[in-house]
Structures are given as C-alpha cells and as structure tokens.
Copies of this chain bind each other. A is one copy, B any other.
C-alpha cells in the first residue's frame, strides 16, 4: 500500500469544460495540477486560465484524470497506468464498457453528474461540481488506496460521491438521462412535424411545460451516437419500458378508464415530489465513524457502497495505519445526524464502528 507518488499532485488528460473545471477546482483546493490536451493551444489556454500549474503530465502524480472524448478513454487510461503508479479515473457518462476495457486495480471509473451549456476550456469553472453527484464505480478488484485518492479529489471538488458497480450505473443513467434525452428529441420532432403541417401557430402554444420537457434536446447532438453505442442494452431496455407504459396510458385514454388515468398520474406525482431536492443539504456538523476492518478484503468499497445505499454522504473516507488494530482501520466522516443509522447498518454487516466527535 506504499506509493512512490506525490500526494495532492494531479495530471489531467484533456482539458475541455470538464477537465479544465477539475483542474481549477483541484488547484483551489491546494493540489498541484499538470495537464495536456490533444490540441496544444488548448493546454496552453488552460494554463493561462488557471486550470493548470503547468502544461505536461506529471509522472509522479497521485491521480491522473482522463477527460478525453469517450472513445479515447481506455487507451489513454492504460497509458497513464503504465506511465506512473498513481490512481487513474475518468469522467465518461457510460461506465461498464470503459471499466471493462481498462480492468486495472488502480483505475476507478467516475462520472460527474454535472455539465454546463458552455463548452470547452472557456466555459471551465472551479464551482462546476459543487453539490453535484459524482458516481464512482469501484469493483471488487479496486485498490483501496486508489479509491481513497479518487474519492478525496472528488470531495475536494465539492461533489457528493455515490458508489455503485459499473453495470448498475449504466442502467440508472439510461433511466434518468439517456432515455429522457431521446424522449425529449422525439417530442420535439413530433411537434415540429405538426408545426410544419400547420405553418406556424402550434409552437406559439408551447407553454412552460413543453419548454421544460424539450430543453435538453437543445444540447450537443454529437456526443449521442457514442453514448447510445456504449449503453445500447440499457437504453433499449428502458425505451421498451417507456413504450409499454405509454401503451398502457393510451389504452386507458382510448377506453376512458378514468380511474387508471388518475392512478397513473397520482403515482407519478408522488414519485416526483419524492425526488431529492438539490442544494438543500445543510452544512451539518460532522463526526468521524471509525471502522476496524479485521482482515476483510474489499471492506473499504463495501463501506462506501453501504453509505450509498443508505443515502449517507461520505464527506471523507480513508484507510489509516492504526497501531491499536491488527488489521487496519477505515475512517469516514459523515453528518452527525446520520452517524447512528450508519453505525447500525455497519453492525448488521459485522463491522463494529466507533463514532467520534471531531476537533
């Protein structure tokens, strides 16, 4: 578990909107950041804008972030793993194909669930990820030190880590992102074809609800062929579910089954109201939850996944060399209010955790 890398030194490959924003955020948090880009002038611009300390790739970096277009990620990540001994992560919106192609204990797949209308290094912003969800997809083979390094960097960017396995991630983003995107495009296409028939006034009738529903169809189209290819199975499955649900609604409308229509809309309303609110997390008092791990391989990732399942945000997670325990210790930091629930769930899995106030 020793590492010849320098802690808090990062290298970023690809400094567009996402890579550039990561550079700015890490530098603000005290990291030393180097970086490169397929186009040299972009790397130089990133340095000029404060996203990089220097152009180039630091061979001693504790963390390399691959923020290239998705097709280039596996080869770029493998090269970074060969070049150094630090952790490597990526930012692609699809995970199983990337993680499967790289397959290395020091590679932790990542997906920041944040974006911007802006594009390229000129839109980069140190606050882009503040309060956003950032999915990490460790596997049973993931090296705990590599995971802790990636987790720490993501927390330094102000994001909330959610851990899940790569396949589950891909199924979920098909539900909450890819299929909604394709559906927005389908609605817009149908409206446009009716508008063309009617020569105009239809789209003047488009009130706020329609604008809300089709807003995401104004995003960049060119990323979608790759996304659809990489996540085809989950997307087609969820599209089938959506078409089946629409067919059920159609049958209820055609049959004037008012009770079924009302039930469907009431269920949707209840689910919508239950959507977790964004940006309402209070700046809570935090406590340490210290977990002796007693020779259990994969314990750190099990602990991280458990927190995710409970909806508990891990402000930090790290392994500690603890003289008082034979096998090691995982130290996490969580909301004081969530600590009892976390400790109980850990106990159910056989971990005896200790809650400690900080300071």
Question: Are A177 and B210 in touch, CB under 8 angstroms?
Answer: yes
Nearest chain-B residue to A256 (Cβ)?
Answer: B229
| Interface residues as binary, A238-252 with B (CB distance below 8 Å gives 1, 0 otherwise) | 111111011101101
Contacts of A249 in B (CB 8 A): 182, 185-186, 239
| Interface residues as binary, A296-325 with B (CB distance below 8 Å gives 1, 0 otherwise) | 000000000000111100000000000000
Contacts of A190 in B (CB 8 A): 175, 179, 238, 241-242, 245
Question: Are A268 and B206 in touch, CB under 8 angstroms?
Answer: no
> Which of A18-26, A194-202, A333-341 is the interface stretch?
A194-202
What are 28 sample pairs from A and B whose C-beta atoms fall under 8 A apart? A113-B205, A168-B198, A175-B194, A176-B202, A176-B203, A176-B207, A179-B190, A182-B253, A183-B183, A183-B246, A184-B209, A185-B267, A186-B245, A187-B242, A188-B272, A189-B268, A190-B242, A192-B274, A214-B272, A218-B272, A218-B273, A219-B269, A228-B253, A228-B258, A235-B253, A239-B246, A239-B250, A239-B253
Further 8 A-B residue pairs, CB within 8 A, beyond A177-B209, A218-B272: A113-B207, A115-B207, A175-B194, A184-B268, A200-B311, A218-B273, A239-B249, A239-B250
User: Which residues 212-227 of A sit at the B interface, judged by CB distance below 8 A?
Assistant: 212-219, 221-222, 224-225
A191 within 8 Å of B (CB atoms): yes
Which of A200, A209, A266 has the most B CB atoms < 10 Å from its CB? A209
Q: How many residues of A contact B (CB 8 A)?
A: 99
B171, B189, B203, B266: the one contacting A274 at CB < 8 Å is B203
**Secondary structure at chain A's binding surface: helix, strand, loop or mixed?**
helix
| Interface residues as binary, A326-346 with B (CB distance below 8 Å gives 1, 0 otherwise) | 000000000000000000000
A102 within 8 Å of B (CB atoms): no
Q: For residue A118, give the distance in angstroms from its CB to the closest CB of chain B.
A: 14
Question: Are B205 and A162 in touch, CB under 8 angstroms?
Answer: yes
A1 within 8 Å of B (CB atoms): no
Please report A residues at the B interface, Cβ cutoff 8 Å: 113-115, 132-133, 135, 160, 162, 164, 168, 171-173, 175-177, 179-192, 194-195, 198-207, 209-219, 221-222, 224-225, 228-229, 232, 235-236, 238-243, 245-247, 249-250, 252-254, 256, 258-259, 261-262, 264-276, 278, 308-311
Task: Provide the bound-state CA to CA distance between A180 and B168, in Å.
Answer: 28
B214, B219, B309: the one contacting A201 at CB < 8 Å is B309
Nearest chain-B residue to A193 (Cβ)?
Answer: B241
Task: Provide the bound-state CA to CA distance between A249 and B216, in Å.
Answer: 16
Question: Are A275 and B133 in touch, CB under 8 angstroms?
Answer: no
Which of A162, A172, A241, A272 has the most B CB atoms < 10 Å from its CB? A272
Question: Are A309 and B199 in touch, CB under 8 angstroms?
Answer: yes
Which of A184, A198, A215 has the most B CB atoms < 10 Å from its CB? A184
